[in-house]
Amino acid sequence: MGYMTTIVLDNLTKRFGDNLAVNGVSFTLGTGSFTALLGPSGCSKTTLLRLMAGFEQPSAGTVHFNGRPVGSPDAMVPPERRSTGVVFQSYALWPHMDVAANVAYPLQARGPGRAAIDKRVGKALEMVSLTGFEQRSVDGLSGGQRQRVALARCPVTGTDIILLDEPLANLDVHLRAEMLDVFARLHEETGATIVFVTHDQSEALALADRVIVLDHGVVQQSGRPEQLYNEPANAMVAGFVGRGMFVSALVSEGRVVLADLPVPARGHAHGTKATVLLRPENLALTDVGVPAVVVATRYSGASYDTTLRLANGETVLLTAQERLEPGRPVHFTVEDASDRAGLIRAGAAHPPEGDWPADRVAPAAL
């Protein structure tokens, strides 16, 4: 790979009029890393990516590539001089060009000979499994094939950084799974530093070696996928990464009592109000346990996502192997309560969108 591979954002801020889209974001992405920017729609993931690419100028803060400032309120290195490859949702292909011409387009202004261009194009198409498609019209390609053509334009120039803006948003579920393999192979073969914007947690957790969760233009947490899932920094991350739901509980003699269900809660005082984060994979229907009523059932293919309402009106989600009719009374329990069954927070009935307090029980302690 080339020179610029490390990305550093220092207190990066972007305003659009009175709207503070990106608010003091700072992080470092190491050489050859694969990072997912994850968050709900409207959280400014794409704006942050555009700031890295050079399509937007910071209102405050800086963007550095390998120690070199490329974006600030006072100076901007244009996108074409940042050694980045950008793949958009819309693919941004030239409809009047065939596949080879689209992939070769970034090389035209650089002046390599025809033989060199053909060699690079062939190698790039091989990376994305499109060998033999050189003369095909892009209008005749499927959505997944068009996405691969757009992706092939990144390694053809030997780019150091690849920025992907929700590249799977327009593909069906089968093509998405196929493209995940293509992205992983591209990362392995090029060693490029990749930043991948998505609102889909399954994509982020499956692909990235680091996930940065954003909300309202602010970084909520950054870390390994396993870390974000098992040790969420705050309520927003805990609810967004995974399908957990919060329910109220009470600490009694070193255990959190949810109805008749005890969950360990070391370090909390007797009588303390608490909140428990319960994830579907830790819940199971039983003959005896926490009483609930079925609210809704949705078929997911291999099972049924079933929403239950507790006696206090709060809801939880679990996976059932049969369809349960709304209104049916059931009982459930938490499996492996001594492991990562729930996250405990003392205090208010529901955790705020900010940090968990320092005295929360770590998942490994449950």
Determine, yes or no, domain membership for 127: yes
Least confident of 75-79, 80-84, 228-232, 332-336: 332-336
322 within some domain: yes
pLDDT at 251: 67
| pTM greater than the 0.85 cutoff | no
- Lookup: tokens for 98: 């065939």
Please give the distance of CA 192 from its chain centroid, rounded to a whole number: 19
Q: Are residues 249 and 162 in the same domain?
A: no
CATH of the domain at 70: 3.40.50.300
pLDDT at site 269: 52
Residues 191 and 221 in one domain: yes
Give me the mean pLDDT over the 142-154 stretch.
Answer: 86
Q: Which of residues 198, 233, 268 is at a domain's end?
A: 233
Q: Does residue 1 sit within a domain?
A: no
Tell me which residue range forms the domain holding 174.
7-233
Can you read off the two tokens belonging to residue 201?
């947690």
Highest mean pLDDT among 37-46, 53-62, 79-88, 223-232: 53-62
pLDDT per residue as tens digits for the range 233-279: 777 887 788 877 777 777 666 565 665 444 545 555 555 676 777 88
Query: Which H or E run contains 189?
Result: helix 173-190
Does the structure show a pLDDT above 60 at 1? no
Per the domain annotation, does 2 fall within a domain?
A: no
181 and 251 share a domain? no
Q: Is 152 within the bounds of a domain?
A: yes
Same-domain check for residues 267 and 358: yes
In terms of Cα–Cα distance, which of 11, 52, 8, 48 is closest to 28?
8
The phi and psi torsions of 51 (rounded to 5 degrees) equal -65, -40
Considering the domain architecture, whether residues 226 and 256 belong to the same structural domain is answered as no
As a whole number of angstroms, the distance between CA 323 and CA 69 comes to: 57
Residue 168 belongs to some domain of the structure: yes
* Cβ-contact 199, 167 below 8 angstroms: no
Alpha-carbon distances of 2 from 124, 155, 289, rounded to whole Å: 17, 12, 59
| Angular region, 130: left φ>0, alpha ψ -120 to 50, beta rest | alpha
Same domain, yes or no: 282 and 200: no
- Do 189 and 279 belong to one domain? no
SS3 per residue for 322-352? CCCCCCCEEEEEECCCCCCCEEEEECCCCCC
Mean pLDDT check: name the lowest of 58-62, 275-279, 297-301.
Answer: 275-279
**Burial 283-301, CB ≥16 within 10 A → b, else e:** bbbeeebbebbbbebeeee
